[in-house]
Amino acid sequence: GDSVTQMEGPVTLSEEAFLTINCTYTATGYPSLFWYVQYPGEGLQLLLKATKADDKGSNKGFEATYRKETTSFHLEKGSVQVSDSAVYFCALTMNTGFQKLVFGTGTRLLVSP
């Protein structure tokens, strides 16, 4: 079945460091890809998305590019802030029928001052 694999955390960085969180997927067709963020004690918020190969999603300084050849959707940010500390989930959905979201296990990011 369709699945998403994320790097295990926690990822611990100092403020202003460069962030990469790896995400790869397995799908029988051509999914849409997403990054969700969960701040402590809260629900999930959509951070960015890409719906086809080579699309780049971006929001709040975060970026991710849909790479069909490597089945990847890595999340990057050039300079993290303490306020970026959260859990980040990579997810996919197939664009047919009921659009079930398939989530990765999440990666916790801890940013220290």
Partner 1 sequence: DGGITQSPKYLFRKEGQNVTLSCEQNLNHDAMYWYRQDPGQGLRLIYYSQIVNDFQKGDIAEGYSVSREKKESFPLTVTSAQKNPTAFYLCASSVAGAGNYNEQFFGPGTRLTVL
Query: Shortest approach of partner 1 to residue 101 CB, angstroms?
Result: 6
> Interface with partner 1 includes 57 (CB under 8 A)?
no
Distance between CA atoms of residues 15 and 13, nearest Å: 7
Comparison of 5 and 71: residue with beta carbon closer to partner 1 = 5
Q: Which of 22, 51, 65, 72 binds partner 1 (CB under 8 A)?
A: 51
Shortest Cβ 72–partner 1 spacing (Å): 17
Least separation, in Å, of the C-beta of 80 and partner 1? 22
- Rounded to a whole number of angstroms, the minimum distance from the CB of residue 100 to partner 1 is 6
10: preceding bond cis by omega (within 30 degrees): yes
**107-112 and 11-14 as β-strands: parallel, antiparallel, unpaired?**
parallel
DSSP per residue, 36-72: EEE-TTS-EEEEEEE-STT-EEEETTEEEE-BTTTTB
Enclosing H/E stretch for 23: strand 23-26
| Residue ranges binding partner 1 (CB under 8 A) | 4, 32, 41-46, 49, 51, 89, 91, 93, 95-106
